[in-house]
């Protein structure tokens, strides 16, 4: 199982809304992520920079950021586009991060 991390950026003033939307994550999206092998998925927020830091385990070949061809993910991206920095297709601007240390 691989662990991956990436960062995204939240627009200023939307931390509470971002948390609310994720607290109410659509059940069908949660099921799709789990079915794709995504688990132990956490997102952290840096209030000073508005950076979101995400880390997840993946048993399959794709991370959550690679599932954009599915309709549910496209709808989620559109739903989140007003509060995050996004690409033209509404996907979040996401930067993969390289692991430099891991204590098991």
Q: pLDDT digit string (tens) for 53-77?
A: 999 999 976 666 678 889 999 999 9
Question: Of the residues 19, 20, 22, 78, which is catalytic?
Answer: 22
Distances (CA, A) of 47 to 3, 27, 44: 24, 28, 10
Res 85: pLDDT: 98
Choose among 19, 23, 27: nearest CA to 83.
19
What's the whole-number average pLDDT of the chain? Answer: 94
Evaluate if residue 1 carries a pLDDT over 70: yes
Q: Is 62 a catalytic residue?
A: no
Over the stretch 83-103, which tens digit does the pLDDT of each residue have?
A: 999 999 999 999 999 999 999
What distances in angstroms separate CA 76 from CA 59, 97, 104, one per listed residue?
A: 22, 23, 33
pLDDT at position 12 over 90: yes
Tell which phi-psi region holds residue 37, choosing left (phi > 0), alpha (psi between -120 and 50) or beta.
left
Task: Identify the structural domains of the chain with CATH numbers, from first to last.
Answer: 2-89 (3.30.70.100)
């Amino acid at each position: 199982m691989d662990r991956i991390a990436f960062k995204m950026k939240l627009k200023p003033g939307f931390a509470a809304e971002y948390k609310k939307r994720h607290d109410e994550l659509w059940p069908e999206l949660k099921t799709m992520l789990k079915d794709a092998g995504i688990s132990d998925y956490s997102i952290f927020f840096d209030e000073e920079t508005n950076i979101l830091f995400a880390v997840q385990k993946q048993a399959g070949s794709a991370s959550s950021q690679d599932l954009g061809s599915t309709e549910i993910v496209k709808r989620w991206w559109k739903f989140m586009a007003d509060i995050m920095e996004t690409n033209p297709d509404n996907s979040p601007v996401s930067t993969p991060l390289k692991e430099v240390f891991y204590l098991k």
